[in-house]
Amino acid sequence: MPVEYKDYYKTLGVSKNASAEEIKKAYRKLARQHHPDVNKKPEAEKRFKEINEANEVLSDPEKRKRYDTVGPDWERFQAGRQPPGGFQWVYTGQPGEDPFNGEAGGFSDFFRTLFGEGTADFDTGPLFGRPSTRRRRSVAGADVESEVEVTLAEAYKGSERSVEMRLPDGTTRRLSVKIPAGVRDGQRIRLAGQGAPGSAGGPAGDLFLRVRVRPHPVFQRDGDDLSLTLPVALHEALLGAEVTVPTLKGRVSLRIPPETQNGRTIRLAGQGMARVTGGHGDLYVTVKVVLPTKLTDKERELVRQLAASRADEDPRRGML
């Protein structure tokens, strides 16, 4: 059965004249986009393998040269298993030996047909036909990106997470990751050498963990600062009071000054998130005066007396 030709340039979305840097950028972008740990669509894993295979060929100058030479004459090459122009491949290994040391595993039939039968390069110069002893160029593994979710309290004090990562060959790896104190939503944590393994002795890629901080029911975050709305009774706002305020490291006391207006904001220094440069941000407490309900007759009479004593006051004066 004929083997389908693979257009690796089309797979990576680059031109046939693309530079090594352009190929590298295109590969990294697509690998992050389609990695099964990030993209949960059913077709993502297949697409990810196609991207890796294309990069395996186009990022290696020798493989790319062979691919570009054979490409225009693929049908004739496939029929005779010979490169165009009468070139021959010479395999110098032992009978029964896997010339790719297992590294052709997981690739398509096209890749195996083009590269999997021998490790010797074919030459276009006068030394053609002489067995090659050059080794395959090492290729760095792909960077992998995944997500980890933490609570605001965990982001405040730092935490540790167990992360399971699926590699391109289908295997999984479990890592213990430290989440630094003060980490922000959307921040990426880089774990050097924990990405996909390289080929032919190449270094492994890096793992990038994008942190998602869950919303908190009480606190809102703005950079390293926190804020909250604090309900205060009418008499506490009028006469002043000592109240308890929650923070992410415990409860603290806050003095409400007499005659505090609704909406006033009070700053508690050092009660916010940890800063990368050291110390902590601040906590901003906004007072929300809660008016009493279900007044008794006595309470209504007291309010009438207050209204009568301040009859000359008009809080809306000057509006029109």
Specify whether the CB–CB gap between 34 and 143 falls below 8 A: no
Domain ranges of the chain: 8-115, 144-213, 220-309
- pLDDT tens for each residue of 267-281: 999 999 999 888 999
Superfamily in which the 8-115 domain is placed by CATH:
DnaJ domain (1.10.287.110)
User: Residue 129 contacts by C-beta under 8 Å, 6 or more apart in sequence?
Assistant: 88, 90, 123
- pLDDT tens for each residue of 41-80: 888 888 888 888 889 889 988 888 888 887 766 666 655 5
CA-wise closest residue to 67 among 24, 4, 9, 131: 9
pLDDT reported for residue 2: 66
Nearest-angstrom CA–CA distance, 41 and 160: 28
Nearest-angstrom CA–CA distance, 273 and 226: 7
User: Residue 53 contacts by C-beta under 8 Å, 6 or more apart in sequence?
Assistant: 6, 8, 11, 107, 108, 111
Res. 155 pLDDT band, cuts 50 70 90: very high
- pLDDT tens for each residue of 244-267: 999 999 999 999 999 999 999 999
Q: For the stretch 41-71, what's the b/e string if a residue is b when 16 or more beta carbons lie within 10 angstroms of its beta carbon? A: eeebbebbbbbbbbbbbbbbeebbebbebbb
What's 144-213's CATH class? mainly beta
**Which regions of the chain does DSSP assign to beta strands (E)?**
144-150, 159-166, 172-179, 188-191, 207-213, 220-222, 225-233, 241-247, 250-256, 265-268, 283-290
pLDDT reported for residue 87: 40
Q: What is the mean pLDDT of residues 283-301?
A: 95
Taking all residues of the chain, what is their mean pLDDT, rounded to a whole number?
80
Nearest-angstrom CA–CA distance, 82 and 84: 6
Provide the 3-class DSSP secondary structure of residue 16.
Answer: coil
CA-wise closest residue to 139 among 27, 219, 248: 27
HSE-up of residue 260 (Cα within 13 Å, Cβ side): 28
Q: What is the mean pLDDT of residues 189-200?
A: 82
Q: How far is CA 150 from the centre of its chain?
A: 14
Nearest-angstrom CA–CA distance, 187 and 145: 12
The reply to whether domains 144-213 and 220-309 share a CATH topology is yes
Token pair recorded at residue 38: 């990030």
Q: What is the mean pLDDT of residues 289-314?
A: 93
Residues of the chain above pLDDT 70, percent: 80
Token pair recorded at residue 64: 């790319």
| Lookup result for tokens 């693979």 | 6
CATH number of 220-309: 2.60.260.20
